[in-house]
Homo-oligomer: A and B are copies of this chain.
Amino acid sequence: MSSMIKNITNVKGIKCWGAHTGIKSMRRDMALIYSEVPASVGAVFTQNQVVAEPIKLAREYMADGKAQAIVVNAGNANACTGPDGYRGAEAMAEAMGEELGIDKELVLVASTGLIGEPFPTEEITKGIRENVSKLSSKSNAGSFAANAILTTDTFAKEGFLEFDLDGYEVNMAGIAKGSGMIHPRLGTMLAFIVTDAAIEPKLLQETVKEVADKSFNMITVDGDTSTNDVVAVLANGQAENDVMKSEDDPGYKLFRDKLEEMMVHLAKLIVSDGEGASKFITYEAVNAPDEATARALVRAVFDSTLVKAAMYGRDPNWGRIICAAGNAGVPFDYRTVDLYLGDESSQVKVLEKGIPQEYNRNYMKKLLRAADLMIILDLDNGDAKSKGWGADLSTDYVLFNSVYTT
């Protein structure tokens, strides 16, 4: 198979597959990823109080910062499934470990799909055992894996980067699935990134946490975190760079930036999916006293259904934006704020130091017809900033989510 499109199979030492095990009718429903050598792993998991069984297992197994394989099933979330579900997740790790000849603790298990359905452990472990031998480093295997983790997504989300890290060629690639807007019990966000960079587990874990906070944690579709969310990064060291151990190590800063580029790329793809959404909105808070404040403001605005509905309706309703920001739970004085509204390339100042500005309403209407909008809050009160991305709230969204009963 030619490798015209680069993906996770282009990361040194990585093989993968996307299988059809029969959980979903006629779709691929299981992704398998394998690193030829044990890798450092950094991972963040759902903040939801209800946690799926594979997440519990993964938190245990990944605690030592080492992983060598990932297995993900789609179609059944293995959440709210009790002890049987936990044993099912464990059985997945065992089957994968046995077939690969590695410790089960080196296997990261994840699931996505319907919550509260009995977990078909036997069918799924059979699927693992039948497909490990198909692990491949060919390009189409990467496409299979990217597609096998999808549920209501309308396209596979992939990214690939190559860069020079202090004289060594490093590859980084990722796959993700979205927080579907359509089915309230199918909303998992998953992202798996593999790289051949060498980095110590502790530093990788800190980096993943920090960068996920700036990317996957700064997107919103419908504001809910699922029981199954996982963002994991495996770094197997096959690029043979000097192992990064501290933030001061050469190349670390670049690695961190590339990981952010990858995570932001995948996160934005997640937002851009979902047929109910008609707009892709970038939110920025700039010149804030600190990053936490900037982030809280962005999150408050982009989670506001009133703001999202206004964006759908092409309504430059800045009052709703200021109101949402005021509810962010952080000190916020609107009298210092400049507010800009527009499309991606040009924005109009609608508020200066809290005072409404005159602007050409026809021009604004034209800007808001764009598919990509931008909202910028300038606090003029420091130099910290934050960025987030979200979808609008459309009549289609409401229709989908009201007619689909569980």
Contacts of A144 in B (CB 8 A): 154-155
Q: How far does the Cβ of A9 sit from chain B's closest Cβ, in whole Å?
A: 13
Nearest-neighbor residue (CB-CB) of A140 within chain B: B272
Q: Which of the candidate stretches A114-122, A188-196, A261-269, A288-296 sits at the interface with the other chain?
A: A261-269
Is B264 touching A2 in the complex (CB atoms < 8 A)? yes
Q: How far is the CB of A170 from chain B (nearest CB, A)?
A: 15
Q: Give CA–CA (A152, B147) in the complex, Å.
A: 13
- A121-152 CB mask vs B (1 if < 8 Å, else 0) is 00000000000011010001001101100001
Q: Report the contact-size class of chain A (Cβ under 8 Å from the partner).
A: 35 or more
| B155 contacts A371, C-beta separation under 8 Å | no
A27 and B379 CA atoms in complex are apart in Å by 41
Interface check A52, CB cutoff 8 A: no
Q: How far is the CB of A216 from chain B (nearest CB, A)?
A: 15
**CB-based contact B371/A136 at 8 Å:** yes
Q: Give CA–CA (A126, B154) in the complex, Å.
A: 21
Chain B residue numbers with a CB within 8 Å of A146 are 155
Residues of the B chain whose Cβ atoms lie less than 8 Å from the Cβ of A134: 371
Provided the pairs A2-B265, A371-B136 are in contact, do residues A154 and B28 lie with their beta carbons within 8 angstroms?
yes
Give the Cβ gap from A324 to chain B, nearest Cβ, in Å.
25
A269 touches B1 (CB 8 A): yes
A156 within 8 A of B: yes
User: Are B4 and A265 closer than 8 Å at their CB atoms?
Assistant: yes
* B residues less than 8 Å from A147 (CB atoms): 154-156
A158 touches B (CB below 8 Å): yes
A31 to chain B, nearest CB (A): 12
Interface membership of chain A positions 24-52, coded 1 if the CB is closer than 8 angstroms to chain B and 0 otherwise: 00111000000000000000000000000
Q: Given contacts A4-B159, A140-B272, could you give 5 more A-B pairs where the C-beta distance is less than 8 Å?
A: A1-B268, A1-B372, A18-B155, A27-B154, A133-B369
Q: Mind listing 10 A-B residue pairs with CB under 8 Å?
A: A1-B272, A4-B265, A18-B154, A20-B154, A26-B152, A26-B275, A140-B268, A144-B154, A147-B155, A155-B156
Interface residues in chain A, defined as those with a beta carbon under 8 Å from any beta carbon in chain B: 1-2, 4-5, 18, 20, 26-28, 133-134, 136, 140, 143-144, 146-147, 152, 154-156, 158-161, 182, 261-262, 264-265, 268-269, 272, 275, 280, 369, 371-372, 400
